[in-house]
Amino acid sequence: MASLRGLVPDTTPTPAVLQISAWRRLKDQMATAFAVSTVVIVLTPLVAIFGYLVFKGIGSVNLAFLTQIPKPPGEVGGGMANAIGGSILILAIASLLGVPLGIGAGIYLAEYGRNRFGDTIRFVSDVLNGVPSIVIGIVAYAIVVLRQKHFSALAGGVALSIMMVPTITRTTEEMLLLVPNVLREAAYGLGVSRWRTTLSIVLRTATSGIITGVMLAFARVAGETAPLLFTAFGNQYWNWKLYQPTAALPLQIFTYAISPYDDWHRQAWAGALVLIVLIVSAVSAVRYVVRRGTLGGVA
Amino acid sequence: MGVGIQVENVNAWYGKSQALHDINLKIEANHATALIGPSGCGKSTFIRCLNRMHETTPDARVEGRVKIGDLDAYNGTSPTQLRRRIGMVFQKPNPFPTMSIYDNVAAGLKLNGYRDRKNLDEIVEGSLKSSALWEEVKDTIHKKSGASLSGGQQQRLCIARALAVAPEVLLMDEPCSALDPISTGKIEELIFELKAQYTIVIVTHNMQQAARVAEYTGFFLLGRLIEYDKTEKIFTNPSDKRTEDYITGRFG
């Protein structure tokens, strides 16, 4: 009666079959060590990248870098303020277009899409997720830039929004499907209409998961360079207009990194550091706001 | 006040399989009616037909006539209209996890566009009192989430939520099957009190429960209503052999 061991005084010697605790403990320790080491291996590149960025970039991040626009080629000094502003503008356009579209499509797939049309959308969305970003840049070039006859912040935003949509759509769908059906029934039982149930109960219950998906998509496109090359194009000066070429941090980093000037190389490192810090702070800020908005003890 | 329910020739299907065959029954206003029977006999499907919840399942279908008071449930009434007059309590407590206790109770009214704040406070308090939960939660109704309560409290919260929309009928689908005996006792007491104001239909697997709370009992088997009578009669002198076999534990 192994299950009674420890509960009743045991005078008989422990049978040989139970004397394996040393080997078991070793196995346990090995498994734990394996798990810990995989975590370390996964985190190493992340820490290394961030550390190296800080090491190379922090020296060039100063007030001028954050407030001035680039100096003409070869001149030392200047900054990337216009690129920071441009990135914010382009990402705002991308989020404004991509987030509602992605969440809307996700709602459709989860609540109404149990049919062939829904399956088609799911398939298309997964394919779109795998399309190289440069190709999406070409699409935005064809549908926005060619029509307007010049590069623009809008075109850049459209390109990035196309990249955001599939991620947001699929995470929204998955998060909504995780909401227990009994909650939908509870709302129907109160005489609440279907669309109201979807918005006020289902979507609200899944909010934190959907936010995670949105932030993943946001962080992914925030660092994209290729789709901006021939859409936003880049700009050495300030621009807040939708229909004008606009600087963006990844573009500026790219331009500076392949330039022959040492000062520009240093600024490229600083730009990369600023980009990462901006993304991390945007994601943390949204998470903080969402967490404060939810009740204690849930989500 | 509760209203009577009249059910005529109700048939229900899930896809191609028929779950209910020709159900006819009259449920008395302001009484509790228990529906008993083995699992899969159609009793849950039946009460889901009363508030048109059955049709929310994909491929599900209902035929026949259901009258809630003088309201024809399937003719000229929208499901949302109907459900506002019929409260439902489910097998597993299902408070809205993102909402406070207060918002859970107010959900039915708020989501249907009711905005009178002061009146809402009164309704919430009244509903929580009716469901015997008020004393336990009154200090935390705004702070605590509905999901943070214990199982028995959650179920009483769900009852309060159903009562807040002032229904005439209360449908309970095995409301105690996930609860311990003490919580079950509280809910049963509650059913006893609520009868005065509502017509209650309760599905249960617990025959003692049916005998304790209900004046009328219906026995379902394989999608058919075998026998429907005063509870006393069903449990002491059933007229159908199958009812007797079931309540004496010979099958099911």
Topology of domain B1-85+168-252 in CATH is Rossmann fold (3.40.50)
Q: How far is B212 from chain A (nearest CA, A)?
A: 26
B chain contacts of residue A190, beta-carbon cutoff 8 Å: 83-84, 87, 107-108, 111-112, 161-162, 165
Given this model, what pLDDT does residue A14 score?
Answer: 64
B84 with A191: Cβ contact below 8 A: yes
A190 with B92: Cβ contact below 8 A: no
Of the listed ranges A13-22, A29-38, A145-154, the one predicted with least confidence: A13-22
Rounded CA separation B30/B33 (Å): 10
Whether B96 and chain A come into contact, CB under 8 Å, resolves to yes
Whether A199 and chain B come into contact, CB under 8 Å, resolves to no
Q: Which residue has the tokens 């429907």?
A: B228
Q: At what angle do helices A207-222 and A153-178 cross, to 10 degrees?
A: 150
B chain contacts of residue A200, beta-carbon cutoff 8 Å: 111
Rg (CA), chain A: 26
Q: At what angle do helices A81-111 and A249-257 cross, to 10 degrees?
A: 130
CB count in 10 Å sphere of residue B138: 12
Q: What mean pLDDT comes out for the span A199-219?
A: 91
A positions 23-62 inside 8 Å of B (CB): none
Q: Which residue on chain B is closest to A294 by alpha carbon? A: B98
A chain contacts of residue B81, beta-carbon cutoff 8 Å: 191
pLDDT tens readout for residues A49-62 = 999 999 999 988 88
Residue B161, phi-psi category: left (phi > 0), alpha (psi -120 to 50), beta (remainder): alpha
Whether B158 and chain A come into contact, CB under 8 Å, resolves to yes
Q: Is the pLDDT of residue A296 over 50?
A: no
Q: How far is B155 from chain A (nearest CA, A)?
A: 12
Q: Is the pLDDT of residue A16 over 70?
A: no
Q: Is the pLDDT of residue A241 over 90?
A: no
The C-alpha torsion from A119 through A121 and A124 to A126, rounded to 10°, is -80
Output DSSP code: residue A71: P
Q: How far is CA A151 from CA A132, A222, A228, A252, B54, in A?
A: 20, 19, 10, 16, 55
Output DSSP code: residue B166: -
A190 with B81: Cβ contact below 8 A: no
Q: How far is B84 from chain A (nearest CA, A)?
A: 5
Residues 6 or more apart in contact with residue B29 via CB below 8 angstroms = B1, B2, B3, B4, B69, B199
**Amino acid found at A283:** V
Whether A294 and chain B come into contact, CB under 8 Å, resolves to yes
Given this model, what pLDDT does residue B187 score?
Answer: 87
A positions 94-123 inside 8 Å of B (CB): 114
CB A86 within 8 A of CB A155: no
A189 with B107: Cβ contact below 8 A: no
Whether B114 and chain A come into contact, CB under 8 Å, resolves to no
Q: What mean pLDDT comes out for the span A91-114?
A: 94
Mean of pLDDT over chain A = 89
Query: How many alpha carbons lie under 13 Å from residue A294 in its C-beta half-sphere?
Result: 20
Q: Name the residue facing A192 among B53, B111, B147 (closest C-beta).
A: B111
Q: Name the residue facing B94 among A183, A192, A297 (closest C-beta).
A: A183
Domain boundaries, chain B: 1-85+168-252, 95-166
pLDDT < 50 stretches in chain B: none
Given this model, what pLDDT does residue A49 score?
Answer: 93
Which run of H or E residues covers position B229?
strand B224-230
Task: Tell me the CATH class for A82-249.
Answer: mainly alpha
Q: Which residue on chain B is closest to A204 by alpha carbon? A: B98
Rounded CA separation A176/A173 (Å): 5
Given this model, what pLDDT does residue A297 score?
Answer: 39
Distance of CA B210 to the CA centre of its chain: 13
Whether B92 and chain A come into contact, CB under 8 Å, resolves to yes
Given this model, what pLDDT does residue B128 score?
Answer: 93
- In which order are the strands placed within the sheet that holds B5-14? B17-27, B5-14, B60-68, B71-72
**Amino acid found at B210:** A
B chain contacts of residue A204, beta-carbon cutoff 8 Å: 98
Given this model, what pLDDT does residue A298 score?
Answer: 41
Whether A16 and chain B come into contact, CB under 8 Å, resolves to no
- Beta bridge pairs of residue B202: B34, B172
Q: Which residue on chain B is closest to A199 by alpha carbon? A: B111
Q: Which residue on chain A is closest to B149 by alpha carbon? A: A297
Q: Name the residue facing A193 among B80, B94, B165 (closest C-beta).
A: B80
Residue A251 burial (CB < 10 Å; 0-12/13-18/19+)?
A: buried
Given this model, what pLDDT does residue A299 score?
Answer: 36
A207 with B98: Cβ contact below 8 A: yes
Given this model, what pLDDT does residue A1 score?
Answer: 44
Q: Is the complex ipTM more than 0.95?
A: no
Q: Name the residue facing A188 among B56, B148, B161 (closest C-beta).
A: B56
Q: How far is B26 from chain A (nearest CA, A)?
A: 22
Whether A210 and chain B come into contact, CB under 8 Å, resolves to no
pLDDT tens readout for residues A249-293 = 999 999 999 999 888 999 999 999 999 999 999 989 988 888 776
Given this model, what pLDDT does residue B132 score?
Answer: 86
Give the pTM.
0.82
Whether B81 and chain A come into contact, CB under 8 Å, resolves to yes
Q: What mean pLDDT comes out for the span A160-188?
A: 94
A190 with B96: Cβ contact below 8 A: no
